[in-house]
Amino acid sequence: MATFVLVHGAFHGAWCWVKVVPALASRGHRAVAFDLPGQGDDRTPIAACSLDGNARRIAEVVAGAGEAVVLVGHSLGGISIAAAAELAPEWLARLVFLTAFLPRDGDSIASLYGPEAIRRPSGPSDYQRSADGLSYWPKPEAVVRLCYNGTPEAEIAYALPRLRPQPFAVQKAAVRLSAERYGRVPRAYVECLDDNAVSLDLQRDMVAKSPCEPVVSLPTDHSPFFSAPALLAETLAALV
Protein backbone atom coordinates (compact mmCIF):
# COMPACT_ATOMS: atom_id res chain seq x y z
CA MET A 1 0.00 0.00 0.00
CA ALA A 2 1.21 3.50 -0.84
CA THR A 3 0.05 6.83 0.50
CA PHE A 4 -0.81 9.47 -2.09
CA VAL A 5 -1.05 13.14 -1.20
CA LEU A 6 -3.11 14.99 -3.82
CA VAL A 7 -2.55 18.69 -4.43
CA HIS A 8 -5.07 20.66 -6.47
CA GLY A 9 -4.35 23.46 -8.90
CA ALA A 10 -5.63 27.01 -9.31
CA PHE A 11 -9.23 27.85 -8.34
CA HIS A 12 -9.90 24.30 -7.10
CA GLY A 13 -9.76 22.57 -3.73
CA ALA A 14 -9.64 19.11 -2.20
CA TRP A 15 -13.12 18.62 -3.63
CA CYS A 16 -11.76 18.03 -7.14
CA TRP A 17 -10.27 14.68 -6.02
CA VAL A 18 -13.62 13.38 -4.76
CA LYS A 19 -13.67 10.45 -7.22
CA VAL A 20 -9.94 9.73 -7.21
CA VAL A 21 -9.58 9.17 -3.46
CA PRO A 22 -12.01 6.21 -3.36
CA ALA A 23 -10.67 4.90 -6.67
CA LEU A 24 -7.18 4.71 -5.16
CA ALA A 25 -8.60 3.15 -1.99
CA SER A 26 -10.26 0.44 -4.06
CA ARG A 27 -6.80 -0.38 -5.40
CA GLY A 28 -5.39 -0.77 -1.90
CA HIS A 29 -3.86 2.68 -1.46
CA ARG A 30 -4.45 5.55 0.92
CA ALA A 31 -5.07 9.01 -0.52
CA VAL A 32 -5.14 12.36 1.24
CA ALA A 33 -6.57 15.50 -0.36
CA PHE A 34 -6.58 18.91 1.31
CA ASP A 35 -7.06 22.59 0.57
CA LEU A 36 -4.17 24.93 -0.11
CA PRO A 37 -4.29 28.29 1.69
CA GLY A 38 -7.14 30.46 0.46
CA GLN A 39 -8.64 27.68 -1.66
CA GLY A 40 -11.54 25.27 -1.17
CA ASP A 41 -12.83 25.60 2.40
CA ASP A 42 -9.63 27.20 3.70
CA ARG A 43 -10.25 30.78 4.76
CA THR A 44 -6.70 32.14 4.72
CA PRO A 45 -7.04 35.73 3.44
CA ILE A 46 -5.90 36.15 -0.15
CA ALA A 47 -3.42 38.81 0.97
CA ALA A 48 -1.71 36.20 3.17
CA CYS A 49 -1.41 33.53 0.46
CA SER A 50 1.96 32.76 -1.12
CA LEU A 51 3.94 30.02 -2.82
CA ASP A 52 5.94 29.60 0.39
CA GLY A 53 2.68 29.20 2.29
CA ASN A 54 1.55 26.50 -0.14
CA ALA A 55 4.87 24.69 0.28
CA ARG A 56 4.67 24.80 4.07
CA ARG A 57 1.09 23.51 4.07
CA ILE A 58 2.05 20.60 1.79
CA ALA A 59 5.15 19.81 3.86
CA GLU A 60 3.00 19.66 7.01
CA VAL A 61 0.61 17.21 5.37
CA VAL A 62 3.30 14.90 4.00
CA ALA A 63 5.22 14.91 7.29
CA GLY A 64 2.02 13.94 9.09
CA ALA A 65 1.51 10.89 6.89
CA GLY A 66 4.07 8.89 8.86
CA GLU A 67 5.77 7.46 5.79
CA ALA A 68 7.28 8.58 2.49
CA VAL A 69 4.41 9.53 0.18
CA VAL A 70 3.70 9.89 -3.50
CA LEU A 71 3.03 13.61 -3.89
CA VAL A 72 0.79 14.49 -6.84
CA GLY A 73 0.39 18.05 -8.08
CA HIS A 74 -2.16 19.10 -10.70
CA SER A 75 -1.63 22.15 -12.91
CA LEU A 76 -0.49 25.08 -10.74
CA GLY A 77 -0.04 22.52 -7.97
CA GLY A 78 3.12 21.43 -9.78
CA ILE A 79 5.15 24.43 -8.67
CA SER A 80 3.73 24.03 -5.16
CA ILE A 81 4.81 20.39 -4.84
CA ALA A 82 8.26 21.29 -6.18
CA ALA A 83 8.61 23.96 -3.50
CA ALA A 84 7.43 21.47 -0.87
CA ALA A 85 9.97 18.90 -2.06
CA GLU A 86 12.71 21.44 -1.43
CA LEU A 87 11.46 21.75 2.16
CA ALA A 88 10.83 18.09 2.98
CA PRO A 89 12.44 15.66 0.51
CA GLU A 90 12.85 13.05 3.23
CA TRP A 91 9.08 12.49 3.29
CA LEU A 92 8.71 11.91 -0.44
CA ALA A 93 8.93 8.65 -2.38
CA ARG A 94 8.05 10.32 -5.69
CA LEU A 95 6.66 13.49 -7.21
CA VAL A 96 3.98 13.18 -9.88
CA PHE A 97 3.27 16.21 -12.05
CA LEU A 98 -0.25 15.83 -13.47
CA THR A 99 -0.47 18.08 -16.54
CA ALA A 100 1.31 20.42 -14.18
CA PHE A 101 3.80 23.24 -14.24
CA LEU A 102 7.21 21.60 -13.92
CA PRO A 103 9.71 24.22 -12.76
CA ARG A 104 13.43 24.56 -12.65
CA ASP A 105 15.20 26.72 -10.09
CA GLY A 106 14.06 30.32 -10.45
CA ASP A 107 10.95 29.58 -12.52
CA SER A 108 7.50 30.96 -11.81
CA ILE A 109 4.14 30.15 -13.35
CA ALA A 110 4.39 33.40 -15.29
CA SER A 111 7.84 32.58 -16.67
CA LEU A 112 6.87 29.02 -17.60
CA TYR A 113 3.97 30.29 -19.68
CA GLY A 114 6.28 32.65 -21.51
CA PRO A 115 5.29 35.13 -24.20
CA GLU A 116 4.43 32.66 -26.96
CA ALA A 117 0.74 32.49 -27.81
CA ILE A 118 0.87 28.69 -28.04
CA ARG A 119 1.69 28.61 -24.33
CA ARG A 120 -1.21 30.89 -23.47
CA PRO A 121 -4.45 29.27 -24.63
CA SER A 122 -6.36 31.80 -22.56
CA GLY A 123 -6.32 35.59 -22.54
CA PRO A 124 -7.25 38.45 -20.20
CA SER A 125 -10.84 38.42 -21.44
CA ASP A 126 -11.27 34.91 -20.00
CA TYR A 127 -10.75 36.09 -16.42
CA GLN A 128 -12.03 38.52 -13.85
CA ARG A 129 -9.78 40.36 -11.41
CA SER A 130 -10.59 41.35 -7.84
CA ALA A 131 -10.97 45.05 -7.06
CA ASP A 132 -7.82 44.99 -4.91
CA GLY A 133 -5.81 43.33 -7.69
CA LEU A 134 -4.72 40.42 -5.48
CA SER A 135 -6.63 37.60 -7.17
CA TYR A 136 -8.36 36.46 -10.33
CA TRP A 137 -10.76 33.76 -11.46
CA PRO A 138 -12.03 32.39 -14.78
CA LYS A 139 -15.37 33.20 -16.32
CA PRO A 140 -17.61 30.09 -16.41
CA GLU A 141 -17.53 29.73 -20.19
CA ALA A 142 -13.74 30.04 -20.16
CA VAL A 143 -13.13 27.41 -17.49
CA VAL A 144 -15.37 24.96 -19.35
CA ARG A 145 -13.44 25.54 -22.57
CA LEU A 146 -10.01 25.42 -20.95
CA CYS A 147 -10.34 22.86 -18.17
CA TYR A 148 -13.50 20.82 -18.68
CA ASN A 149 -13.71 20.29 -22.45
CA GLY A 150 -13.93 16.52 -21.92
CA THR A 151 -15.72 16.56 -18.57
CA PRO A 152 -19.32 15.31 -18.16
CA GLU A 153 -21.98 17.95 -17.57
CA ALA A 154 -22.74 16.66 -14.07
CA GLU A 155 -19.15 17.16 -12.97
CA ILE A 156 -19.06 20.63 -14.53
CA ALA A 157 -22.19 21.54 -12.58
CA TYR A 158 -20.50 20.22 -9.42
CA ALA A 159 -17.29 22.17 -10.02
CA LEU A 160 -18.37 25.62 -11.18
CA PRO A 161 -19.91 26.88 -7.91
CA ARG A 162 -16.91 25.59 -5.93
CA LEU A 163 -14.21 27.49 -7.82
CA ARG A 164 -12.49 30.25 -5.83
CA PRO A 165 -10.24 33.18 -6.73
CA GLN A 166 -6.55 32.36 -7.20
CA PRO A 167 -3.94 34.60 -5.53
CA PHE A 168 -1.70 36.36 -8.05
CA ALA A 169 1.17 36.08 -5.55
CA VAL A 170 1.43 32.32 -6.09
CA GLN A 171 1.52 32.71 -9.86
CA LYS A 172 4.23 35.38 -9.79
CA ALA A 173 6.59 33.88 -7.20
CA ALA A 174 9.86 32.29 -8.32
CA VAL A 175 10.60 28.89 -6.79
CA ARG A 176 14.02 28.07 -5.35
CA LEU A 177 15.11 24.48 -5.98
CA SER A 178 18.38 22.66 -5.33
CA ALA A 179 19.82 19.45 -6.73
CA GLU A 180 20.57 18.29 -3.19
CA ARG A 181 16.96 18.46 -1.98
CA TYR A 182 14.33 18.79 -4.72
CA GLY A 183 16.62 17.08 -7.20
CA ARG A 184 16.97 13.91 -5.16
CA VAL A 185 13.24 13.06 -5.32
CA PRO A 186 12.22 10.87 -8.29
CA ARG A 187 9.63 12.56 -10.48
CA ALA A 188 7.10 11.35 -13.03
CA TYR A 189 4.95 13.32 -15.45
CA VAL A 190 1.39 12.53 -16.54
CA GLU A 191 0.58 14.47 -19.69
CA CYS A 192 -2.98 15.07 -20.84
CA LEU A 193 -3.33 15.00 -24.60
CA ASP A 194 -6.51 17.10 -24.97
CA ASP A 195 -5.59 19.80 -22.46
CA ASN A 196 -6.73 23.30 -23.39
CA ALA A 197 -5.31 24.95 -20.25
CA VAL A 198 -1.72 23.70 -20.17
CA SER A 199 -1.03 22.90 -23.81
CA LEU A 200 0.59 19.62 -24.77
CA ASP A 201 3.43 21.59 -26.36
CA LEU A 202 4.07 23.35 -23.08
CA GLN A 203 3.86 20.11 -21.10
CA ARG A 204 6.42 18.46 -23.35
CA ASP A 205 8.68 21.49 -23.42
CA MET A 206 8.83 21.52 -19.62
CA VAL A 207 9.61 17.79 -19.50
CA ALA A 208 12.35 18.22 -22.11
CA LYS A 209 13.98 20.85 -19.90
CA SER A 210 13.40 18.98 -16.63
CA PRO A 211 13.28 15.26 -17.46
CA CYS A 212 10.89 12.93 -15.67
CA GLU A 213 10.75 9.15 -15.63
CA PRO A 214 8.33 7.81 -16.58
CA VAL A 215 6.19 10.09 -18.73
CA VAL A 216 2.67 8.72 -19.12
CA SER A 217 -0.03 9.98 -21.51
CA LEU A 218 -3.75 10.21 -20.80
CA PRO A 219 -6.29 10.91 -23.58
CA THR A 220 -8.09 13.50 -21.46
CA ASP A 221 -8.74 17.17 -20.92
CA HIS A 222 -7.08 19.23 -18.19
CA SER A 223 -9.22 17.61 -15.50
CA PRO A 224 -8.85 13.81 -15.58
CA PHE A 225 -10.03 13.65 -11.96
CA PHE A 226 -13.46 14.41 -13.46
CA SER A 227 -13.24 13.15 -17.03
CA ALA A 228 -11.45 9.83 -16.31
CA PRO A 229 -11.07 9.28 -12.54
CA ALA A 230 -10.70 5.49 -12.74
CA LEU A 231 -8.05 5.75 -15.44
CA LEU A 232 -6.23 8.42 -13.45
CA ALA A 233 -6.27 6.28 -10.31
CA GLU A 234 -5.00 3.29 -12.28
CA THR A 235 -2.23 5.43 -13.77
CA LEU A 236 -1.16 6.78 -10.39
CA ALA A 237 -1.22 3.34 -8.79
CA ALA A 238 1.04 2.02 -11.55
CA LEU A 239 3.69 4.57 -10.57
CA VAL A 240 4.21 3.04 -7.13
Give the catalytic positions in this structure. 75, 195, 222
DSSP 9-56: -TT--GGGGTTHHHHHHTTT-EEEE-PPTTSTT----GGG--HHHHHH
Question: Which residues on adjacent β-strands are paired with residue 7?
Answer: 73
DSSP, collapsed to helix, strand or coil, labels residue 67 as coil
Number of Cα atoms under 13 Å in the Cβ half of residue 230: 1
Q: What are the φ/ψ torsions at residue 33 (nearest 5 degrees)?
A: -120, 145
Query: Where does the chain show beta strands of DSSP type E?
Result: 3-7, 30-33, 69-74, 92-98, 127-129, 135-138, 166-167, 187-192, 215-218
